[in-house]
Structure formats: structure tokens, C-alpha cells
Amino acid sequence: MGSYRFILSGGGTGGHIYPAIAIANELKVRYPDAEFLFVGAKDRMEMEKVPQAGYKIEGLWISGLQRKLTLKNLMFPFKVISSLMKSANIVRNFKPHAVVGTGGFASGPLLKVASGKGIPCVLQEQNSFAGITNKLLANKVAKICVAYDGMEKFFPKDKIVKTGNPVRGDLVAKSENKVEAMNFFGLQADKTTLLVLGGSLGARRVNILIEQSLPFFKEQGIQVVWQSGKLYYEDYKKYESADVKVVAFLNRMDLAYGAADIIISRAGAGSVSELCIVGKPVIFIPSPNVAEDHQTKNAQSLVEKDAAIMVRETELDEKFETVFLELISNKDLRGKLGANIKNLAMPNATKEIVNEIEKLLVQQ
């Protein structure tokens, strides 16, 4: 049972990479002697993040199509052929028992080759609006693990299993010690705490909003933990004070969530899944600059269940202060949002995805 070999492919963004790593970690717990290989796109962040997690990775020469005619688009057919050939070589040499794709360009050619050779393949779709790679692969794979209802509009219904999205283990067992969290950030226990999450790189429009709103927050007696992102930290660290904690990156997300009374966040699939587990009232500001506007669709799926508030970037100047004031002044609303988003949590997602992989292994 310990001699299994697994290939995992997902990349381009942390939203594809970290679920793949989480799945690999769970497989490793169950099969300590198993062999693992990741396949990603050359020059993308997975080539750095996967080795940091302790796994080997091979890179394919692949990227997406640009929206306008560019030299990169002219090279696309050659990249696809190159990636299919290298994927065939990888699969032939590694001989995997199962292949898992979590989205991103590299998973396309790899899973196409693997499924064509009869190797059991599993897709994991994080978003409420399926990515193009996963849609193209849907008819070729054995199972598709999703996090949202209604995904049969993208995938064959008989292949769909609702598992949720993998999240970091430390959040599933996050610190409930409010005192520890407040001490860690140097915050005052008697003040309402706002946590601002723009992602590890940062979100320009969210940062502009927070900068403009600092006097407003001060008037309301709000203290802020502000993850500006490493691209913007130098611009905003000047606002560091007793009531405003500016950080490039949050290394202790468990304590950040523990300190928060209200959260402002982008609506990437991983963030949404984490925030469901955390169970705090959230204002989502989805990024409009992502494929198929999927962040807006992710946030809307929670808004429809009275589990979050969404303010689009184009509405921030007009609506933000009114929405925020209503939230901080209405304890019942905060309680309802927190309880409803918590009800949507699927903390066992990683285990359930691996359960589906195991079912395929047994059938071999």
C-alpha cells in the first residue's frame, strides 16, 4: 500500500498551488512511502513554492492565451505541443497511480495525457465559476471535487463531488485565545478590530480605500490590522501607529483571524473557504481583474445566503462608509453574518478529496 506514485499539478496562483500541496500532504500522511511529483508552468510561482513545501516539481513551457494578438499568442501552439510531449515523457517515466489537477495552465496537458493513458485523474475546482482548463478536462477525468453548489452547469453531474476547498491546517485548529491574538499585534482589548486582507502581493484599490478611510476608522474607534502586501508595504508603513498595524505579510493568520471582529477581504476561492471556517462578519471587495470575474461570483454566492456583504470596487466611494457604519452599529447583523458564513464551512475538505482519490486507487 505504500508504493503508490502521485502526480499533482496546479499553479499560476496560490489559489491553485496551496490546495495541491494540501492534498499531497494528506496523501503523505496516509501513504508515508508514496512518491510524489508536481508539474507546473516554468517561471511561475509554483516552481518556488512547491520545493519550499518539500516536493519535487517539473516545469512545462506553457502559458495562457492573451486577450489581444501578441507574440506570446503566436507561440501558444508550440507551447502546447511542447507541454504535451514533456507531459507524456513525465507520465511514462513516473508511472503514476493517480493524477490530481487543481487548475492552472500546466494541469491541462498533463491531465490530458494521463487520462488518455487510462490513469485515474481527479480535478479540484476551487471557484464557483469553473476555470477554462478544468472545463476542458471535465469529460476526461474520473472525479471532480468542487466547493460550490450548481457546478453541473460546467461539469458532468455524475462526476461531481462537493468536498469544499483545502485550507491550511492551522486555521482548522485556529487559536481561539483572543488575549493571545491581541497581545501578538499590540492591540487594545476594548476596541473593535478590523482585519484587512489584500493577499500576499497586495490589492491596490483596497489599499487606497484603507488609506482614505483611516480618519473615518479613528472617528469610529476602530483599530486596524492591515495586510498591505509586499508590493505596497513601503508606501503604507508610514501609517503604523498604536491603532494601525501595517504588515506586508501575515505569518500568523490564526492570530490575525482570532483578533478580528470584522474582516475586509478579496474573494479568491481560498480566502472564501478560510473565512467560512473563521466565522467572522466579512465585507468582500472582489477583484475585477481575474478570469471570468470569478471573485465576484464567489462573493455573490455567499451574499445570496446572507453570509457576507459585497461592495464592488466601482461602488467603494459611494457605499463603503455607509455599509461599514451599519455593520459596526448592528450587533445582530454581525452575529447573523458570522453564523451564516460559519454554516458554509467545510473544514474536512482535504480529507474528503483524498477519500475520493483512494476510491479510484481501490478500483485499479
Q: Which residues carry a binding-site annotation for UDP-N-acetyl-alpha-D-glucosamine?
A: 13-15, 127, 168, 200, 295
Instruction: Indicate the annotated binding residues.
Output: 13-15, 127, 168, 200, 295
Residues 326 and 329: their CA atoms lie apart, in Å, by: 5
Residues 87 and 139: their CA atoms lie apart, in Å, by: 19
Residue 264's CB is within 10 A of a number of other CB atoms, namely: 25
Residues 21 and 356: their CA atoms lie apart, in Å, by: 16
Calculate ∠ Cα 114-105-89, nearest 5°: 35
Residue 361's CB is within 10 A of a number of other CB atoms, namely: 14
Q: State residue 101 phi and psi, 5-degree precision.
A: -115, 130
Instruction: Report the candidate in 199, 245, 236, 228 with the shortest Cα–Cα distance to residue 18.
Output: 199
Interacting residues of 191 by C-beta distance below 8 A, sequence separation 6+: 221, 222, 223, 243
- Element of type H or E holding 206: helix 204-219
- In eight-state DSSP terms, residue 123 is E
Residues 281 and 288: their CA atoms lie apart, in Å, by: 22
| Angle (deg, nearest 10), helices 349-363 and 14-30 | 60
- 3-state secondary structure (DSSP) of residue 228: coil
Cell of 156: 458532468
Q: State residue 108 phi and psi, 5-degree precision.
A: -60, -65
